[in-house]
Structure 1
């Protein structure tokens, strides 16, 4: 019924693109539910329409033009078509359940509306960087078989007075006319709290425009907002999002699932999972993904069919050093850091193998940058090595 009503809205507004977009989505839904003949009849009607409507024959393609900033002429929305294969997406149990609740609410919106219990399709994701907020939005779009329209704040926010509010209006018009999941990533750039001493009138107007556009959007339109800085979001914005999910760094069980999924067929047989899960405590899924990709690339360049377990730990240790603000400009610094971080995992022989040097060279590195000079001076004084 949502698609039928939107087709009617498009017809009443003489908006052929809107009517065509939702007709294509209706055909897709009918086909997925087994009503293939009705889907073919809709697509046949669309095929007879003018060429501008031909895009709507497939609900995954858009006939509506992507909105642009009139000042820069750049698009303010990036459209993508996420697809996930197999079991390639993991969340904590609580977040996963809440995401499924949101997908269920979207999928059953018409039934809930008929019973008078429908909730607007608005989801707010917040938490530290790299914990899966953007990936979750992509997953939702994939599960709903809809394109993901990601708002580009770099082009949406304009230096011209009032232009940002107009850009927002065009973006929400696009979301109303086009079946999609609208993602407001880095949401704090648009919805920062009003009233602080550094606030200016234009920023207040942007928040007001955002609130008005969210309120004006039909309840069945899907909006996902994501931010790393939930504490800075305007209180009035929170009330517009009945579904809210807090993200945190993964726990032990989730870290194990992430490591196994991201290493995939390159998992080394000698890898001690308990050790890897323990060593990676407190890091985000994005860091785990980067470590796995680095280790796999190293294996491929070496002509190996699986990643090296020690190389995975080395990459993890170096990633943690960066997170701790520990800069390692030389190999000597890396060696000393790895021994300090997890000495039990990095023996002299293991470090020598990883860095393709002798164990004696590793020993010299571990003594410090002045070890060689100190030994030389001692030899001169005593006449023999100490």
Structure 2
């Protein structure tokens, strides 16, 4: 009952109207709002079940004869965009990205005021950075903050094997945007917006870039477009100019990494004390890497019915590289692994023997012994 009171009568009325009108997009958006309210009200199971229903792509509505009108490729009939649910994972951002994010949200919420005062700008944000740095997650949170559906362009459908059809598909996507109060997410933009002076590209593919530019120019002040690329150096300069808001998504800093370990791995404050150490050993890893290592460690802990092996997690993080996370060992660390870990923690990372002992799960005397056994030359 508290959940529906938190929603408000207008939300309940809108949900009923949307259901009776078979408005799939509004039903999903409002159901997502209910799920969030349930989660905040500590009814996690109900929230999980409701989100599971939302992800079933509207089977009940389709069974009653409703199919959402999405642009499709004329040959394969595959949809060019798909609606995705709002993310449930939190955002971990540095100060600069937080500032741009809040500025964008504020401008989007007050676009009518800005237009009235001649201060409107394109509501377009370009995200650049390596895979796993949170570009898709940030786009999802923008949609969530604005209470709008999130439509993601499917490049596998847009990029046609038939020359000429790719530009047509791009045009269909941008013709679709004004008909929806939604956020459009263009991932891997370098696939359709490369430098037009690239001598390796065919003339037809260069014309696709012009189509993208024309599509962005055709949108009004209320259209919200988020672009993302893993290879910013490949984008045509004219594309950059169409995105007033720009964010470079880097690997997380030390504080962000500590916060990620706390969220993805630990449940209480005593365990979370190791998060600073894990932040140190995971320098250079992406948020996706940290989430993968933490998730694997928690699964092993649950299935083996044992405490989290922080030493094994630190070992995995130290042997991981950006985009290539190593999973923690299934068994406890061997003596040789403990010796190597102790040397890394107390050597290049300059941890005290006491902190290293806490991470490895042994006594300080054991760490001292490991360091002596490790020697100085190796």
TM-score surpassing 0.5? yes
Contact 2:289 2:323 (8 Å CA) reproduced: no
CA distance in 1, matches of 2:322, 2:223: 43
1:145 and 2:147 matched: yes
1:357 match: none
CA distance in 1, matches of 2:336, 2:71: 53
1:218 match: 220
Within-5 A mapping of 1:81-160 = 81-84=85-88, 88-160=90-162
In structure 2, relative to structure 1, the CA distance for the partners of 1:107 and 1:122 (3 Å cut) is same
Per the TM alignment, residue 84 of structure 1 is displaced from its structure 2 partner at its CA by 3.3
Contact 1:121 1:221 (8 Å CA) reproduced: yes
In structure 2, relative to structure 1, the CA distance for the partners of 1:32 and 1:237 (3 Å cut) is farther
Within-5 A mapping of 1:322-341 = 323=324, 340=340
1:75 and 2:79 matched: yes
In structure 2, relative to structure 1, the CA distance for the partners of 1:101 and 1:310 (3 Å cut) is same
Structure 2 residue corresponding to 1:185, chosen from 184, 187, 192: 187
Within-5 A mapping of 1:158-307 = 158-265=160-267, 269=271, 272-304=274-306, 306-307=307-308
Structure 2 unaligned residues grouped into runs of 5+: 31-57, 59-66, 347-352, 363-369
CA distance in 2, matches of 1:151, 1:271: 41
2:38 match: none
Per the TM alignment, residue 237 of structure 1 is displaced from its structure 2 partner at its CA by 0.5
1:36 match: 10
Over aligned residues, Cα RMSD in angstroms? 4.0
CA distance in 2, matches of 1:248, 1:98: 14
2:367 match: none
CA distance in 2, matches of 1:300, 1:268: 19
Superposed CA offset, 1:326-383 (max 9, x none): 9xxxx9xx98677556535599x999999xxxxxxx9xxx9xxxxxxxxxxxxxxxxx
CA distance in 2, matches of 1:221, 1:280: 39
Contact 1:82 1:141 (8 Å CA) reproduced: yes
In the alignment of these two chains, the number of paired residues is 315
Contact 1:79 1:148 (8 Å CA) reproduced: yes
Superposed CA offset, 1:198-235 (max 9, x none): 12101111101111111111121110001111111000
Q: TM-score by structure 2 length? A: 0.71
In structure 2, relative to structure 1, the CA distance for the partners of 1:252 and 1:322 (3 Å cut) is closer
Superposed CA offset, 1:173-198 (max 9, x none): 22111111100001111111111221
Structure 1 unaligned residues grouped into runs of 5+: 1-30, 355-361, 367-386
User: Greater CA radius of gyration, 1 or 2?
Assistant: 1
Per the TM alignment, residue 251 of structure 1 is displaced from its structure 2 partner at its CA by 1.1
Per the TM alignment, residue 131 of structure 1 is displaced from its structure 2 partner at its CA by 1.2
Runs of 4+ displaced beyond 4 Å: 31-35, 39-44, 53-59, 61-64, 321-324, 334-342, 344-347, 349-354
CA distance in 2, matches of 1:339, 1:219: 60
Contact 1:151 1:185 (8 Å CA) reproduced: yes
CA distance in 2, matches of 1:352, 1:280: 15
Q: TM-score by structure 1 length? A: 0.70
CA distance in 2, matches of 1:255, 1:212: 40
Contact 1:64 1:174 (8 Å CA) reproduced: no
Superposed CA offset, 1:62-109 (max 9, x none): 975122212222222121120437xx2210111011111001111000
Secondary structure, counterpart of 1:182 in structure 2 = strand
